[in-house]
């Protein structure tokens, strides 16, 4: 089938485009390259089933040909991006979501919204299942991303209920892997970059706050399963194994062979204290669960960072990575 992927040049979007092409689908990638990178899809541009259109899905755009599925990933997603582009983030979640929904309606296509665990805010229920409504500060520094996704979910369900749109929602928990940007402000990419460059690993708070890290290949399998499914969701996609931020930092140091120190800074406003998904719906409805252990996924990610010309790796540290890969 032909799948339209907004945000297809981003970290997660480029892996999804690649997986869809690999299984024989054709892909129409839409991206304005505000946070996505052309290099992420450079190896796909010569594929006969791949096209890419530079556009902002929050504005008017056109595609040629059919669409059998529409996946809406486009949005600034890292703390650096959504804090730098708050209005664009809100537009991607509101006008962007509706434009992609309208595209799905015109083509009678399956629509999948990539939502986020951020809709749970700083949760007071742990672990988080899809029945939990969340604990979100609507005017805080994270609100432009949280509320954009919450609105996108409401809009998606309104189209499903009132327009009969074949629409589904996935809530994505912390995802990591190759093609992350070194300076995007996410904890995995920040720790790896700092370790490889010999800087102190910056931990906010005392490091006891938890996250659930899912390798990108596992996440893509979940997205593809949702595309193929009639499930409405929302469905949590994430790794139910909970890790503290300090544990992650120590594992990154082990994988990279770095002797960087840990540096502790005050915890940001509204930073979630605990985050872990219940994935019963994903297991039962999609037949999905994560497979890649955190240590293995980190090794793949570190190897990718080392291979990039924009990562300044000291020779001593690079040889340490080589020994442990």
Q: Which residues are catalytic?
A: 145
Query: Got the DSSP string for 17-64?
Result: HHHHHHTT-EEEEEE--SSS-GGGGTTTTTSTTEEEEE--TTS-----
Q: Write out the H or E segment, with its range, that includes residue 144.
A: helix 143-163
CB count, 10 Å around CB of 198? 15
Distance CA 100, CA 319 (A): 46
The answer to whether the beta carbons of residues 123 and 134 sit under 8 Å apart is yes
> Largest Cα–Cα distance of the chain, in whole Å?
60
Q: Write out the H or E segment, with its range, that includes residue 307.
A: helix 294-307
Q: Write out the H or E segment, with its range, that includes residue 170.
A: strand 167-172
Q: Write out the H or E segment, with its range, that includes residue 201.
A: strand 201-204
Distance CA 93, CA 153 (A): 9
Place of tokens 């001593």: 316
Distance CA 52, CA 65 (A): 13
Distance CA 264, CA 127 (A): 26
Extract the tokens encoding 284.
Answer: 């039962």
Q: How far apart are the first and last CA of the chain?
A: 37
């Amino acid at each position: 089938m032909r799948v339209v992927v907004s945000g297809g040049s981003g970290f997660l979007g480029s892996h999804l485009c690649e997986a869809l092409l690999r299984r024989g689908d054709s892909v129409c990638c839409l991206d304005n390259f505000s946070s996505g990178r052309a290099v992420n899809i450079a190896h796909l541009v010569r594929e006969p089933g791949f096209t890419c259109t530079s556009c902002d899905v929050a504005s008017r755009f056109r595609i040629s040909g059919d669409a059998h599925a529409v996946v809406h990933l486009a949005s600034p997603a890292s703390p650096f991006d959504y804090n730098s582009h708050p209005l664009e983030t809100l537009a991607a979640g509101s006008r962007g979501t509706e434009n992609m929904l309208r595209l799905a309606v015109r083509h009678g296509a399956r629509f999948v919204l990539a939502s986020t665990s951020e809709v749970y805010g700083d949760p007071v229920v742990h672990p988080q299942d899809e029945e939990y409504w969340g604990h979100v500060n609507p005017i805080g520094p994270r609100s432009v991303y949280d509320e954009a996704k919450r609105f996108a979910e409401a809009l998606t369900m309104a189209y499903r209920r009132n327009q009969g749109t074949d629409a589904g929602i996935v809530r994505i928990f912390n995802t990591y892997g190759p093609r992350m940007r070194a300076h995007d402000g996410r904890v995995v990419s920040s720790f790896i970059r700092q370790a490889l460059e010999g800087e102190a690993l910056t931990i906010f708070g005392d490091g006891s706050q938890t996250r659930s890290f899912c390798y990108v290949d596992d996440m893509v399998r979940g997205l593809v399963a949702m595309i193929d499914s009639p499930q409405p969701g929302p469905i949590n996609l994430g790794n139910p194994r909970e890790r503290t931020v300090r544990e992650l930092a120590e594992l990154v140091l082990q994988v990279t062979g770095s002797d960087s120190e840990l540096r502790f800074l005050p915890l940001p406003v509204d930073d979630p204290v605990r985050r872990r998904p219940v994935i019963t719906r994903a297991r039962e409805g999609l037949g999905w669960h994560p497979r890649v252990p955190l240590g293995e996924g980190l090794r793949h990610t570190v190897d990718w960072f080392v291979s990039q010309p924009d990562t300044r790796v000291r020779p001593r540290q690079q040889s340490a990575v080589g020994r442990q890969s």
